[in-house]
Amino acid sequence: MLNFDDYAAAIDESKTARMEQRTKPHVKAQIQRAAALLGIDETTFVTSVALERAQATIADHERTILSAADRDMVLAALETPAPPTDALREVMAMHDARVAPGD
């Protein structure tokens, strides 16, 4: 039997949510075969693999990876910001006119 990590098993809550999807017979057969090779049921296989991919997708969208040159450019911009433009001053004046101090 191959190694399999059930990512959903570590979550401590009852299984009350239901998910259903339609798929092609060939896809279903492959999922069934993979689950059988691992010695687990199809629901465990699909849920765990989908959860693992969901976590990876979320993580990819929640972080930005910069090259060393880009990092240096961002840090330099933060350390020595450009002076405000007339447009920025105008927008900030509009903001100050509409928003009470402390809000």
Residue 64 lies in a domain: yes
Residue 2 lies in a domain: no
pLDDT confidence bin for 36, thresholds 50/70/90:
very high
Which stretches within the chain are classed as H helix?
25-38, 42-62, 68-79, 86-98
Instruction: Tell me which residue range forms the domain holding 37.
Output: 25-98
**pLDDT tens sequence across 42-89:** 999 999 999 999 999 999 999 989 999 999 999 999 999 999 999 999
Could you tell me how far CA 6 lies from the centroid of its own chain?
19
Write down the pLDDT at residue 2: 64
Residues 6+ apart with CB under 8 A from 23: 31
Residue 5 lies in a domain: no
CA-closest candidate to residue 45, choices 57, 56, 58, 32: 32
Which letter does DSSP use for residue 48 in this model?
H
Residue 57 lies in a domain: yes
